Chains A and B, each alone.
Chain A
């Protein structure tokens, strides 16, 4: 499994998407955060954590779109599935390699609180918990995108489907939906919204219900991807 992880990382870093998208993500996120922070005049990273999910639902499908779909399209999946690796090991190695790139990407954004910390006093635990929330959200988006990649043989189509679905999921808690839906529907959608679950983390609160929500979200799509790979027609 370690060998597959290493191979996946190498392929990601050798591809234009693997090294350009994370850099563009970090720069763009930094810009979106800093352009407003001096207007608000508050020494808090909360706006950073509220903007990040809107970029993650593009970054993560971009990194994971080819992971399985390309293997199916080029038929290298036949070689992969005849190696002595379980389907679960294959999905885990693929997940772990993309998650490593996400870690590097979020690591790049650490320059923001570092610079910001020189100008104002920041509350460190709040930032750390916020990052934990972003990592949990990233895992959820990753397992979903990988599942889509396992279902669709075309990487561009896999990317589009993941982005559209994750966009809809991200907007579940938006004001627009709240204003047009009945109260009961609102409550269900709000509970299903990852943004709402991330909110507590960005305030520096570790909410176990939200952590469990992200873990279940991740596990469900992880297991569905394993099931998809184990399927024999």
Chain B
């Protein structure tokens, strides 16, 4: 489904991603973990085709996400970092707009699934961070995407809201592949089936989630120390 082959991304002289390779298959819940500035968001943007690699190739469904964007994007749901939303719009207006563009026929079901009925008539600026995150998730879910890319979906949320979003991710992953980036290690333990650990643009670990409580944190700390 997603294939990155020796991808390097440079911004000027700074190398944000260095020879990154991995493949993500159908039905996987991949936790993409790394400290701040590790290259998680850059990788997400490369997958969505928002930026192009300096070297190497990115393929989604065997196609280039930039040159074939119109055939790929209907199959992709994306929640960007910090969940940018038009604050001057009502939740209903925004979701109806997104669902109309993505040709989603069952918006009501998504709204119910994500429990945003209560705030449906409210303006985005009136919502708590947790609700904004749910709206962003609902927008990403419109069009029944095969791949869901979530860039730090629980960032800035309180522990209760974090649990709500984690439960939602698990629920959503039943029907599609989910890749979510985070720097909160407990999220990986709770949600992911596979872990990618990245630091300074280099992939340090790619494999199934280690078993046992605290094992992801242990592995992460060990690898970061080494790198």
Contacts and interface: CB of A to CB of B under 8 A. Distances in A.
A81 B73 CA distance: 9
A78 B89 contact: no
Interface stretch (A9-17, A94-102, A108-116): A9-17
B61 interface: no
A182 interface: no
Nearest to B52: A232
A3 to B, nearest CB: 4
Nearest to B74: A84
Interface string A47-73: 000000000000000000000000000
A3 B66 contact: no
A76 B102 contact: no
B78 interface: yes
B8 interface: no
A86 interface: yes
Interface in A74-91: 74-76, 78-79, 81-86
Interface string A1-45: 011101100110011000000000000000000000000000000
Nearest to A77: B84
Interface stretch (B93-101, B111-119, B156-164, B219-227): B93-101
B76 A82 contact: yes
A83 B49 contact: no
B52 A86 contact: no
B139 interface: yes
A233 interface: yes
Interface string B21-56: 000000000000000000000000100111110000
A84 B86 contact: no
A232 B78 CA distance: 18
A15 B89 CA distance: 11
Nearest to A10: B93
A232 B48 CA distance: 11
B89 A11 contact: yes
Interface in B46-82: 48-52, 66, 70, 73-74, 76, 78, 80, 82
Given A7-B93, A10-B89, A233 B51 contact: yes
Nearest to A74: B84
Nearest to B53: A232
Given A84-B73, A86-B70, A233-B51, A3 B80 contact: no
A84 B78 contact: no
A233 B42 CA distance: 11
Contacts of A11: 86, 88-89
A83 B86 CA distance: 15
B2 interface: no
A75 B84 contact: yes
B137 to A, nearest CB: 12
Contacts of B172: none
A14 B125 CA distance: 14
Contact of B84 (A76, A83, A84, A233): A76
Contact of B82 (A2, A14, A75, A232): A75
B84 A79 contact: yes
A-B interface, 4 closest residue pairs, ranked by CB to CB distance from nearest: A3-B100, A75-B84, A78-B80, A84-B73
Interface of A: 2-4, 6-7, 10-11, 14-15, 74-76, 78-79, 81-86, 232-233
Given A7-B97, A75-B82, A232-B49, 7 more contacts: A11-B89, A14-B89, A79-B80, A82-B48, A82-B73, A84-B143, A232-B66
9 contacts: A7-B93, A75-B84, A76-B86, A78-B84, A79-B78, A82-B48, A82-B50, A82-B76, A232-B66
